[in-house]
Amino acid sequence: MTTLVSYSVTLYRLFCSVTGAGGYTQRAAADDATISQRVVNVWFNTNVAPGMPWQFAPVQRSVNVHLGQDTLVFFTAENTSDHPIVGHATFNVAPSEVGLYFKKIQCFCFTEERLEPHQKVEMPVDFFVDPRMAKDPDLTDTNNITLSYTFFESKNPAQAQNLSRFDKQPASPAAGREIFATTCSGCHSLDRNKVGPMLEGVVGRRAGAVPGYPYSAALARADVVWNADSLDKWLANPQAFIAGAQMPFHLPDALRRRDVIAYLATLKQLPAAHAAQRTASHPG
């Protein structure tokens, strides 16, 4: 009986990790799923244990994702105390039946995490929702999923990693591509005009220069060439950078802007004739 009790928590966690019981999410080495046309809205909920002096919040309140779509989102954590604290995040998804299909590739919840006094960091979570969810009769009408985290002070502080490792990572075009897919692609395409102008070859291009796109007067006359510095200012606050600009969206977080700009820098400039042909076919 003593042995059974000792291992009961471990066995229950193993059971949950395999079956998704209790909304326990799964781990995956990579997203090898085929992207489905079905879209779900994933909401994020964050808490800290009573008495733990951390502030913990999602950068984005929710994202719309296709089943099978590799998605990168971010959370911030700040230690408001005068001493280091090691935390560990518990997690679950609701409805609980989704746990079997919600798969994380990267997450701060996989390890014990250390924050120095008054240190604030941004932490990524890379996930996808398995398209097999669409075939589950219990989830036919499920269009909203809530991913919840709660940070507790760790009982194993010696095993902690320092959360500052996320701040020290170089700009990642791969991360930028995922951020673009979840936050920018609703208005922008790479190869055609949509609500916003196409972005193929935007780095090095003069503002207001895409043929066939109805720019605001402010952008049309702006003497700006898009580079890392000007894109950072634009994404941080379009109206402050170019007075009269009409883009309603902005990325307040510097690390996310850095990754998106690194991704945009990988997009090659279309030949002029090819660009004109595409904008004529898709005048936006």
Q: Are 257 and 235 in contact (CB under 8 A)?
A: yes
pLDDT at 205: 92
Q: Could you identify the residue written with the tokens 């042995």?
A: 3
pLDDT at 165: 59
Angle between helices 254-264 and 173-183 (to 10 degrees): 100
Tell me the C-alpha distance between 68 and 135, whole Å: 13
pLDDT at 44: 96
pLDDT at 124: 86
User: What pLDDT digit, counting tens, does each position of 115-166 carry?
Assistant: 999 998 888 899 999 999 999 999 999 999 999 999 999 877 766 666 665 6
Domains of the chain, start order? 23-166 (2.60.370.10), 178-281 (1.10.760.10)
Nearest to 25 by CA among 113, 183, 140, 145: 145
pLDDT at 231: 94
192 class by beta-carbon count within 10 Å (0-12 exposed, 13-18 middle, 19+ buried): middle
271 class by beta-carbon count within 10 Å (0-12 exposed, 13-18 middle, 19+ buried): exposed
pLDDT at 166: 61
Kindly give the parts of the chain with pLDDT less than 50: 1-21, 271-284
